Amino acid sequence: MKHWRVGILGATGTVGQRFVQLLEQHPWFTITAVAASDRSEGKRYGDAVAWKLPTPLPARIAELTLAPCRPPLDCDLVFSSLPGDMAAETEVAFAAAGYPVISNSSAHRMAPDVPLLVPEINPEHVRLIPLQQQRRDWTRGFLVTNPNCTTLALVLPLAALERAFGVEMVVVSTMQAISGAGYPGVASLDIVDNVIPYIAGEEDKVESEPRKILGQLVGDRIEPAVLRLSAHCHRVAVTDGHLCAASIKLRQPATVDEVGAALEAFRGPAEVAALPSAPARPIVLRREPDRPQPRLDRDLERGMASIVGRVRPDPLLDIKLTILGHNTVRGAAGAAVLNAEFLAATGCFT
């Protein structure tokens, strides 16, 4: 397999640190550049970062010098975890300069010519890439995004149910980890002995992104899936792991056992399952009455799966279940790394 030299935009943030951690021993990608806000430019990464992960900061990365978030950057492709406002222009600049941009930012997720890629679900959406390049007059560069952290956890089981039975309606309430707000992020006075029933912009993303992800590529555009969603988003005193309680109306009736079987049987295409960061099981089904739980289950499948439990009948819709996803692994950096692996393996960049 070929190797690629990768850069990380927003390398000092919470998700940037996960990129560094996940790529430390990656078989295909080697970090050769780290970039952050202008005020960090020229600093040693190890000096500029407030490293908050329980595994040590890799010594080689600590020695890299932070570049500004402008092309050129000494790498073959870039991962981006820039905040939305900064991502909009910066990512376009990199793509225009010939860099594949694998982004975790929200800025371009809903753009009609940008794949919102979950390779187990919509690998064919990468066919937007040549259209995007043509339309924007880019040659080697392009933009590919992954979903919001909550969307990702939710959309894997929704895809399984959509394939098996069709999904008509989803009411979902989330209990989201503080790491999802970055660092310093949520003030401790707001979360100790408390729940915050509001996360700016989150409910919109959870209600709209799944429709694009589950949509069909028709000609040169994505036809959104017809399911409808209602989301209630909350922040809770959990370090990592977003928990979601969902009531789901299916298009065809299904028993609890059939739903469980559909969830457990769900797999992406074989070429996705073979990727280095792909989970053996994209969905892990727990059958205990009180699982999944963030602290106990977030690291299953190295944080790359949706953990589903408490599948039971819903008195109003059809089915109730509980979903857990690791918000900074599969919900952010891990999703982008898997996307990059898929793009590399399928020749979307060279």
- Which residues of this protein are in contact with a second copy, per CB under 8 A? 14, 52-56, 169, 171, 173, 175, 178-179, 183-198, 207, 228-230, 232, 234, 236-239, 243, 245, 247, 289-300, 309-310, 314-317, 320, 322
149 labelled catalytic: yes
For tokens 């430390």, the residue is 24
Cβ closer to a second copy: 50 or 274?
A: 50
CA distances from 73 to 63, 76, 344, 347 (A): 16, 8, 19, 22
Task: Dihedral sign for Cα 41, 45, 46, 52, please.
Answer: positive
Cβ closer to a second copy: 217 or 245?
A: 245
For tokens 């589950």, the residue is 214
Catalytic residue among 75, 149, 244, 348: 149
CA distances from 6 to 76, 77, 241 (A): 6, 5, 27
Cβ closer to a second copy: 125 or 242?
A: 242
CB-count burial class (<10 Å; 0-12, 13-18, 19+) for 309: buried
What pairing do the DSSP bridges indicate for beta strands 29-36 and 228-235? unpaired
Contact 183, 240 (CB under 8 A): no
Cβ closer to a second copy: 47 or 223?
A: 47
Q: How far is the CB of 289 from a second copy (least distance, A)?
A: 5
Q: How far is the CB of 299 from a second copy (least distance, A)?
A: 5
233 labelled catalytic: no
Catalytic residue among 69, 242, 244, 348: 242
CB-count burial class (<10 Å; 0-12, 13-18, 19+) for 110: middle
Six-digit token string for 324: 């857990």
Query: Strand, helix or coil at 322?
Result: strand
Q: How far is the CB of 91 from a second copy (least distance, A)?
A: 26
Q: How far is the CB of 192 from a second copy (least distance, A)?
A: 5
Cβ closer to a second copy: 168 or 258?
A: 168
Q: How far is the CB of 321 from a second copy (least distance, A)?
A: 9
User: Annotated active-site positions, please?
Assistant: 149, 242
